């Protein structure tokens, strides 16, 4: 994106109190947690903004802010990642505290809530909105998005940049003309009832959701509504015609808290990068699925991503977050690398074998410039963003990290995998990356090579076919 993503909305401080259950309480059938520790992260609009910033985007967050202890803790989490425009507010910082054990939430305790200074919020937001390449309104039903002045500013911005509105049942309806509204299935039902959108009692759940979404496109006068459906993906409606259903990648377990924020922030940055709506929704579905698969909110690590996947162009997970989640469970991180230009059966065989060596697989992918230096000006045939996307669609690949150097050594030092798998005829020889792996106790291994499969041979075969007299391509080009 040329300009920043501007996120406007209600910010919260999320705290997980995590402990080890060793016995039951003697006076109630509840576990007693020992060795408790606090894990802090941004919540609400702040979570959506922080995740976009962790993807490598320039992000401005305009949020009501209470200058109390929790408010200062929230700012300390955010300021290393993004630009914050704090609007002074009364009350107390909203805190969402989860008590968790063995990966499960036992109870949630909510406290605080600011008295939003709506007039000042509008005036503070104006300079940031003017320079935005995309806008995300993250409504958590606490008053920030109800300000008439702010709504007018967002409405004005609709004609200049894509605007995504993530609604809340207790919040305000989106301003007219926004590019995309992102309710979940429960929210779309609540809003449809509020707007008196009628639906036949009979019919499948999908048919009902389609009718409700189409009705809200008209009620809200928005360009499109996408209903997030959890593990079933998302349904995109333009108000008429058949909806677009984008399936999600299969995931098991994971903490779904924050998945909606992940979806909304990914959709906003994708639209701001020039993608059409359907493509942006595909990116957002993949990002939300990868977020849950990597451990979700409980596994978040607030540090810049080591991946160089172009902003908005890569649909998958942050390699750093995937690695942190796997290591938190005591798992093994496997990695492999290459150009993967024209993905073929040999690549897939190698990737599956590499994935079997660990609990996740990170693919280190040569950038376009790196491939040109290695293979000449005619390569790559497929640009890096598309190669990364194809790789991420494979179930054996957990994340992709693009590197610009001729070798992956710098990227390996950042990722520090436990296993580095190399495909090809290296048996009995010292792999170039072996010394780097040994520096932190990792191991480089060789995988069996599938004979007769290579991108170069595919290119040569295609060129010969093109040059054959009477071939379809030859006759079309003559």
Q: What is the pLDDT of residues 404-417, one digit of tens each?
A: 898 899 999 999 99
Last residue of a domain, which of 299, 330, 363?
299
Query: Is 95:15 a contact under the CB 8 Å cutoff?
Result: yes
pLDDT at 316 over 70: no
Instruction: Check whether residue 330 and residue 433 sit in a common domain.
Output: yes
The reply to whether 126 and 44 lie within a common domain is: yes
**End-to-end CA gap in the chain:** 41
Shared domain for 208 and 80, answered yes or no, is yes
Q: Is the domain of 323 the same as that of 293? A: no
φ, ψ of residue 238 to 5 degrees: the values are -105, 5
361 strand-pairing partners? 334
Catalytic residue among 10, 14, 16, 261: 261
- Both 253 and 105 in one domain: the answer is yes
The tokens 């993503």 sit on which residue?
5
pLDDT at res. 309: 35
Residue 243 falls within a domain, yes or no? yes
Phi then psi for 413, rounded to 5 degrees? -65, -30
Question: 373 with 414, same domain?
Answer: yes
Residues 272 and 328 reside in one and the same domain: no
Structural domain range at position 188: 5-299
What are the tens digits of pLDDT across the range 430-446?
Answer: 778 889 998 998 888 88
pLDDT, position 302: 47
For the segment 76-103, the average pLDDT, to the nearest whole number, is 88
pLDDT tops 70 at residue 458: no
Helix (H, G, I), strand (E, B) or coil at 136: strand
14-65 pLDDT, tens digit each: 998 888 888 888 888 888 888 788 889 999 999 999 999 888 899 999 988 8
Domain shared by 332 and 251, yes or no:
no
160-182: average pLDDT: 93
One domain, residues 255 and 330: no
46 belongs to a structural domain: yes
For residue 304, name the pLDDT band (cuts at 50, 70, 90).
very low
Query: What pLDDT score was predicted for residue 118?
Result: 55
Residue 468 lies in a domain: no
Asked whether residue 336 carries a pLDDT value surpassing 60, the answer given is yes
Q: How many domains does the chain have?
A: 2
Q: Looking at residue 66, which CATH number applies to its domain?
A: 3.40.1190.20
Based on the domain organization, do 252 and 381 belong to the same domain?
no
Active-site residue flag, 425: no
DSSP string of 163-220?
A: EEEE--TTSPPPPTT-SEE--BHHHHHHHHHHTT----SSS-HHHHHHHHHHHHHHHH
d(CA 69, CA 455): 58
pLDDT score at 460: 55
- The two beta strands, 234-237 and 244-246, are antiparallel
From 299, 334, 362, the end of a domain falls on: 299
Q: Minimal CA–CA distance to 341: which of 183, 454, 256?
A: 454
Do residues 271 and 166 share a domain? yes
In a shared domain, residues 324 and 290: no
Residue 105 located in a structural domain: yes
Three-state DSSP class for residue 26: coil
Please answer whether residues 417 and 442 qualify as being in contact, where contact means their C-beta atoms are separated by less than 8 angstroms. yes
pLDDT tens for 182-235 read 999 999 999 998 988 877 654 678 888 999 999 999 999 999 999 999 888 999
Query: What's the rounded Cα separation, in Å, for the pair 119 and 273?
Result: 31
187 CB burial (10 A radius; 0-12, 13-18, 19+): buried
Residue 303 pLDDT exceeds 70? no
**Does residue 469 sit within a domain?**
no
Q: Answer yes or no: is pLDDT of 13 > 90.
A: yes
Ramachandran assignment for 415, one of left (phi > 0), alpha (psi -120 to 50 degrees), beta (any other): alpha
Residue 68 lies in a domain: yes
Residue 305 lies in a domain: no
Q: Which of 266, 299, 332 is the last residue of a domain?
A: 299
Alpha-carbon gap, residue 26 to 456, rounded angstroms: 70
Residue 471 lies in a domain: no
Q: Any idea what the CATH number is for the domain that residue 337 is in? A: 3.40.50.620
Check residue 150 and give its pLDDT: 79
Q: Are 257 and 297 in contact (CB under 8 A)?
A: yes
């Amino acid at each position: 994106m040329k300009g920043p993503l501007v996120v406007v909305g209600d910010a919260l401080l999320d705290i997980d109190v995590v402990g080890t259950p060793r016995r039951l309480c003697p006076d109630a059938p509840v576990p007693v947690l020992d060795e408790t520790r606090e894990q802090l992260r941004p919540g609400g609009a702040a979570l959506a903004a922080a995740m976009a910033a962790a993807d490598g985007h320039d992000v401005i967050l305009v949020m009501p802010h209470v200058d109390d202890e929790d408010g200062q803790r929230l700012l300390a989490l955010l300021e290393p990642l993004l630009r914050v425009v704090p609007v002074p507010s009364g009350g107390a910082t909203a805190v969402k505290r989860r008590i968790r054990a063995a990966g499960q939430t036992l109870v949630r305790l909510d406290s605080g809530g600011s008295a939003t200074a709506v007039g000042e919020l509008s005036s503070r937001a104006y300079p940031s909105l003017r320079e935005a390449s995309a806008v995300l309104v993250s409504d958590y039903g606490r008053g920030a998005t109800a300000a008439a002045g702010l709504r007018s500013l967002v409405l004005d911005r609709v004609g200049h940049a894509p605007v995504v509105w993530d609604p809340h049942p207790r919040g305000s309806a989106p301003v007219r003309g926004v590019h995309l509204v992102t309710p979940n299935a429960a929210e779309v039902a609540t809003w449809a009832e509020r707007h008196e959108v009628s639906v036949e009692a009979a019919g499948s759940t999908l048919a009902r959701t389609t009718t409700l979404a189409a009705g809200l496109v008209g009620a809200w006068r928005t360009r499109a509504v996408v209903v997030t459906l959890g593990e079933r993906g998302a349904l995109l409606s333009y108000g008429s015609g058949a909806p677009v259903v984008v399936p999600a990648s299969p995931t098991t377990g994971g903490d779904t808290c924050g998945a909606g924020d992940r979806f909304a922030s990914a959709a906003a940055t994708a639209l701001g990068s020039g993608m059409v709506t359907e493509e942006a929704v595909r990116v957002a579905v993949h990002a939300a699925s990868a977020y849950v698969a990597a451990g979700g909110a409980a596994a978040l690590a607030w540090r810049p991503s080591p991946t160089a996947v172009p902003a908005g162009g890569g649909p998958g997970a942050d390699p750093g977050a995937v690695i942190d989640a796997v290591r938190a469970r005591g798992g093994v991180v496997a990695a492999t690398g290459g150009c993967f230009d024209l993905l073929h059966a040999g690549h897939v065989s190698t990737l599956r074998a590499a994935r079997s060596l660990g609990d996740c697989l990170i693919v280190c992918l040569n950038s376009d410039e790196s491939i040109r230096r290695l293979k000449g000006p005619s390569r790559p045939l497929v640009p890096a963003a598309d190669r990364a996307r194809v790789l991420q669609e494979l179930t054996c690949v957990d994340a992709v990290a693009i590197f610009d150097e001729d070798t992956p050594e710098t990227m390996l030092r950042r990722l520090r995998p436990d296993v580095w798998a190399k495909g090809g005829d290296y048996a009995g020889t010292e792999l170039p990356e072996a010394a780097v792996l040994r520096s932190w106790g990792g191991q480089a291994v060789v995988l069996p090579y599938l004979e007769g499969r290579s991108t170069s041979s595919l290119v040569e075969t295609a060129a010969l076919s093109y040059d054959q007299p009477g071939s379809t391509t030859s006759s079309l080009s003559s």
